[in-house]
A and B are shown apart, each in its own frame.
Chain A
């Protein structure tokens, strides 16, 4: 298993990838990507049992991950590339014509590591649940992970899925919500308050954990704890507190960097805060 220091180094490199990718095409979503970096690095470099070199759609005997808030594709692509699903240099094609790294993730261009298209919000939990049910049918004891934005909780389909998972005791799923309190038009509080997410998920019959998304040790420990909570008749939800734009001081904690790319000057300023550790693409 990699040391925490190594994982933190990868986080810095992933953050460099994120800001460089969105800068290169002057589009994309850096804010949520930066905030979820520790989560992705913990999953792809520590927690998941997976086979990056030999991707198979069915993933029999492997853990599966589904990104429901597909707009944070930069962090997903960087984690996939740097964990070995495809060559790191392909990150330079992000959002360009004929790329496999579409603006929002898709299976359509055959990018290894992606198992469903996402972007239109609210759909990923249902898909992850379907995959979790298929694992049970196949007597496959691995886990299914999904990640969601907190703004995404405003979509009704999430709550259909939430009700189903508890009612049918889908207890091999570990979902996480990126609670950064921001969405496109402003704070979640000002746009349409989510209320008490912890109480809501408990009321829907889920086992609910919390973690600090900026602390990779805490993320790893909580994901481990979540696995131990599986198999007990309840789906598991982790509420992950993050700051949008984490790691780049002028991007932190504001919805303004949800879907805005840095200019040349801002890129230089961001990269100065993020040491190159394992090599730029």
Chain B
């Protein structure tokens, strides 16, 4: 099946649209931002609901504490800043005041990964998924396009408990349905296949679909599964797919250490040992460049997924032989 897209949009705008809709439908929702309102696309919410929008300035630690406090009294706070400042900079605040305290805060993080582009490695966090998934009871979500980010933003307001929602800066294909129901923790089968399972998250989902098409031309049938929720991981969907294909690829815009691939490797090694190749950044910081240049240089594109698929299928055949 050939996947198409109607338009190209940034996932952060999906967040902004979802937040605006929540503003209209859920009076408990409040939003906090650390001097990045435009970058996070929170300006529409700010304009429409000035009394429920809190500009905290360049003080992310205070923002996380404020958000934790606002839950006391029944608010549902959504914090917005870059992924780097949403996680690494405020890890202890999130750990103690939000996660350990069980506070209903939605940590919404834009400009994650290499696709932040020209600003370079200081801002290109590639460790955030790992940091957040290690926190007990933290839900970690990384949607793939505009429509899915909007749906995820709306969905997390209904989940009681802390959530990390990760999205990005660049304009990318918008290919999932506008009217989709976003089910937290439920992987989405994008394309059925028999020879290899590709588990992708975030911007890599589109790359995986392109790779599947390139593989089909070579006579390889790839199954593509969108893992928008990294924690809790949809173990059943992963095991069902690998039971059929007997080999897997993980694909993400994140360090190999601590990312989605790590979680899948843990699962497979415990339940269904199978050859696994990981498309991820290999123990390296990023650098300046366009998003496309960086994704190619660091091996996070469709061409690299195709190579990994061929490798993992060869490994499977060796194991079987």
Which residues on A are within 8 Å of B, measured CB to CB? Answer: 57-60, 64, 66, 106-108, 115-120, 122-135, 137-138, 140, 156-157, 160-161, 163-164, 167-168
Contact = CB atoms under 8 A, between A and B. Distances in A.
B72 A120 contact: no
Contacts of B63: 126
7 shortest A-B CB distances, which residue pairs? A130-B69, A126-B65, A134-B73, A160-B62, A160-B59, A130-B66, A127-B69
B61 A127 contact: no
B73 A157 contact: no
Given A122-B61, A126-B68, A133-B70, 20 more contacts: A57-B72, A107-B102, A115-B72, A116-B69, A117-B101, A120-B92, A126-B62, A129-B66, A130-B77, A131-B73, A132-B69, A133-B66, A134-B72, A134-B73, A140-B73, A160-B62, A161-B62, A164-B59, A167-B57, A168-B54
B65 A134 contact: no
Contacts of A64: 72
Contacts of B68: 116, 126-127, 130
A123 B70 contact: no
Nearest to A59: B72
B57 A163 contact: yes
A59 B61 contact: no
B274 interface: no
A58 B75 CA distance: 10
Task: Pick the most buried of B52, B64, B101, B102: most chain A CB atoms within 10 A of its CB.
Answer: B101
A159 to B, nearest CB: 9
B140 to A, nearest CB: 20
Contacts of B290: none
B74 interface: yes
25 contacts: A57-B72, A60-B74, A107-B100, A108-B102, A116-B68, A123-B61, A126-B62, A126-B63, A126-B97, A129-B69, A130-B65, A130-B69, A130-B70, A130-B71, A130-B77, A133-B69, A134-B70, A134-B73, A137-B51, A137-B52, A137-B73, A157-B62, A163-B57, A163-B59, A164-B56
A123 B100 contact: no
Nearest to A116: B101
Nearest to B30: A137
B137 to A, nearest CB: 10
B67 interface: yes
B57 A127 contact: no
A154 B59 CA distance: 16
A167 B102 CA distance: 28
A120 B69 contact: no
A148 to B, nearest CB: 13
A124 B68 CA distance: 10
Given A123-B65, A127-B65, A127-B68, A59 B97 contact: no
B73 A126 contact: no
Contact of B101 (A60, A107, A122, A137): A107
A157 B71 CA distance: 19
Task: Pick the most buried of B67, B68, B72, B102: most chain A CB atoms within 10 A of its CB.
Answer: B72
Contacts of A126: 61-66, 68-69, 93, 97
B100 A157 contact: no
B96 interface: yes
A157 B96 CA distance: 14
A120 B97 CA distance: 9
Nearest to A126: B65
A141 to B, nearest CB: 13
A124 B73 CA distance: 16
Nearest to B63: A126
Task: Pick the most buried of B30, B73, B77, B101: most chain A CB atoms within 10 A of its CB.
Answer: B73
A135 B70 CA distance: 8
Contacts of B57: 163-164, 167
B75 to A, nearest CB: 5
B101 A134 contact: no
A132 B95 CA distance: 22
Contacts of B51: 137
A125 B65 contact: yes
Contacts of B59: 160, 163-164
A125 B97 CA distance: 11
Contacts of B92: 120, 123
Contact of B73 (A108, A119, A135, A156): A135
B97 to A, nearest CB: 5
